Chains A and B, each alone.
Chain A
Amino acid sequence: MKCSLFGSATPGFRYAMSLHKIEDIPMPEQAMLFVEQPKTRDRKYVIKIGDTIKTGQKVSVFDGVESATVSSVTGTVADIQTYRGDYGQTYTALSIKTADDDMDDAIAALNQSTDLDSLMPFSGNIPGAPDLTVFKRYASAIHTVVINVLDDDLLVSVNQWAAQYLTSNIKQGVNFLKNIPGVKRVLLIAPERMLSVINTIGVEVSVIDESYPNVLPAFIMRDHLDTILPEGKLPEELGIAIFKAEAIAAIGQMIATKTMPLEKIVTVVKRDGSCQNAKVRLGTPLKAVFDHLNITTRSGDRLIIGGPMRGASVYSEDIPVLPTTDCIIIQSESDIPGVATTPCTNCGECVRVCPAEMSVNVLVRYLENGLYEEARDLCDLMCCVECGLCSYVCPSKMPIFQYIKLGKYELSLIESAEEQDE
């Protein structure tokens, strides 16, 4: 999938400009739940094959280990496996044979109260995966909440869809945010073409330029909040929380209907590059989505969860649609550009394209040789905003973005090892 948008005539990538048409995907026969807890030697399963799980039930897998996962389906456990993701992330995957929805008592509790504390258990389990724990977790209270209407990668139009069609839910969600103690400002970031819809929400709106990668937190803070995000810091540490429009719509729905939102919008990009949105029950395996959209996958294809610039490829089509899954891309074998072992020729393309103005050409020389600490101290590794443009333009086809992510990961390992020593 070569993209000619980056020619000499056009200034750069634009985010998805139109809303893709949407298709409902029925409840799958078999769903899958990911619990972000790996099986270790001293952990004992408390769940077994044949157990029944209700929708909205908190799924505990191991004895004495608290889980944050809330089931999005009702059914019986058919299989328990381990799934390994990128950078050592390990999940316990529960295959569930689905049945008609049977709501757990936890959802009924929403009828009594919909304040922050009662929504907290659903944090991260509803579409858009809003992390409501930020309001409790950080010592410096969150004072500004930013709602992002654009999606964080190219081709994706999930948040735009939510803003367009779930406007009343977003309104409810905004009211909820405004009532959280400590929150002084709720700011909605939207492209100019969507203002007519966005303005009906009745919240402060800031217009964003739609060129990639303006949606990344560092640029949102620079362009809309006049704050510079210091290297290696999270916006939350400065009292700023950034949410997706879809997540706020999901919160709004919980408040308005006292139910748990179970269906998520996903952009599916087919082999030919055509995009389509689908409404999918959380936990639906990718294969069920493909089957419904008449997409067949072959060996040698690449399946990508997330957008073309920042997503992650997966090795199995059995993995489920998670609350964070905004986009699924199928790339044919012939469209995969591949990487090469050619060294950097110092052409400077990466330096000119880097939106954070890093000296990528020097940085990559340190990273190639595993000098991660030098890369951080001398070449500002932690300033990287992770947009992927450097790898996109590299004539040597170096996996620069991968080097950067690996460098950050290795540094985090070094830092945690140092902390343990102390």
Chain B
Amino acid sequence: MSKAKKFVVSHAPFWHNGDSIKTRSFHIMIAAIPALLFGISIYGVPAARVIALSIACAMLWELGMNYILGQETTIDNGSSSVIGMLFGMLLPATAPWWIVVIGTFLAIIVAREIFGGIGGNPFNPVLVSVAIIMLSWPDMYDYYGALVNYNPGFPMIYTLETIKYQGFKAVSDISIINLFLGKQAGGIGATCGIGLILGGAYLIYYKVIRWEISLSFIVGLMITAHLFYVSDPAKYACPGFHLLTGYSLIGAFFLATDDASSPVNFIPMLIYGAGAGFLTVLIRNIGAYVDGVVFAILLMNLANPLIDRLRPKPLGKV
């Protein structure tokens, strides 16, 4: 047999559809551009600074971890940049540099790398970090305090907080359209409803996220909010307000859909999404926190391994 030519030998299949973690990460970053640009146009350079620092720190933490563990460098797959970007999008534009450094450390190292790196995290790394910061430095996510010096030409109102302490009547002069266009206080990339919906539609079209999770999250949130609203319209906000304020939309399209911490089977995805939406409204309306998205999704992450056991019986199983 000829020894001259060496052929490549590997296992079937011999085709691949060309998808990769890198492309998926880039798709997520592209999808975030509308909401991010809006945030940067409102808050200016400080917002860009937070996002840039956050992405850079996240990548550096991963690089450092690769170095310490003697692994191959994995930052080129873009997943830590996505985590950094999403973490920055949730912060107010005035966030100090050290909170970004600590936050990305918590997200990349504590919430992901110590669980085994990409794909191993049981919780959404961004939300773990946000939750720890919320508990440790509660003022950090107080958008009234953080954004007091901004005057972008519309009332800088963090609706969820106002509703929580003063009832729905206090914000009755804010139109849903304005919220939809992002005229509210909030995280850098979390306020622009239309931008987030566009990004979500893009991700669903390219099958980067699972539409079942986003849709059931929104439906679960709206139905629960509607039930509260019907029970006491003066106190509780209407479903539209819940959907367009706080982290609802970024949660539905960017956070709840994190691959490793969400289910993959059809019915579990519906339960997971609807459960997160339900818990969000529950925490907002009767819980201790102003915005419930963070803890709602983390709680559903916790339940994910259990609910993802509801899977179809494979062909041939009797």
A residues apposed to B, CB below 8 Å: 1-3, 6, 8, 81, 83, 218, 222, 228-231, 233, 297-304, 306, 308-318, 329, 331, 333, 336-339, 341-349, 351-352, 354-359, 361, 380, 382-383, 385, 388-389, 391-397, 399, 401-402, 405
Contacts and interface: CB of A to CB of B under 8 A. Distances in A.
Contacts of B7: 297, 299-303, 313-317
Given A228-B316, A395-B21, 16 more contacts: A218-B316, A231-B314, A297-B7, A299-B7, A300-B7, A302-B14, A336-B8, A342-B21, A345-B260, A354-B314, A356-B315, A356-B316, A394-B16, A396-B21, A397-B16, A405-B11
Contacts of B205: 8
B66 to A, nearest CB: 13
Contacts of B1: 81, 83, 316, 318
A331 B13 CA distance: 12
A303 B7 CA distance: 7
Interface stretch (B53-61, B111-119, B170-178, B284-292): B111-119
Nearest to B265: A351
B13 A2 contact: no
A398 to B, nearest CB: 10
A294 B79 CA distance: 46
Contact of A298 (B5, B10, B21): B5
A368 to B, nearest CB: 11
A316 B117 CA distance: 39
A307 to B, nearest CB: 8
B15 A308 contact: yes
Given A315-B7, A383-B317, A395 B20 contact: yes
Interface of B: 1-2, 4-21, 23-24, 72, 74, 77, 79, 116-120, 205-207, 210, 259-262, 264-265, 311-318
Contact of A348 (B8, B17, B259): B259
B125 to A, nearest CB: 13
Contacts of A395: 19-21, 23-24
A230 B318 contact: yes
A3 B19 CA distance: 11
Classify the secondary structure of A's interface with B. loop
Contact of B17 (A2, A333, A347): A2
B76 to A, nearest CB: 11
B13 to A, nearest CB: 4
A8 to B, nearest CB: 6
8 contacts: A218-B316, A302-B8, A346-B119, A356-B316, A357-B311, A357-B313, A382-B316, A392-B15
Contact of A313 (B14, B74, B312): B14
Contact of B2 (A317, A359, A383): A317
A222 B260 contact: no
Given A316-B2, A318-B1, A380 B11 contact: no
B285 to A, nearest CB: 32
A315 B207 CA distance: 37
Nearest to B72: A341
A343 B74 CA distance: 11
A233 B315 CA distance: 12
Contact of A218 (B116, B118, B315): B315
A399 B13 CA distance: 9
Contacts of B262: 346
A351 B117 contact: no
B259 A346 contact: yes
A54 B317 CA distance: 49
B123 to A, nearest CB: 13
The 5 A-B pairs of least Cβ separation, nearest first, read A348-B264, A337-B16, A388-B13, A402-B11, A345-B119
A383 B8 contact: no
A222 B314 CA distance: 13
B259 A347 contact: yes
A317 to B, nearest CB: 7
B313 A401 contact: no
B9 A314 contact: yes
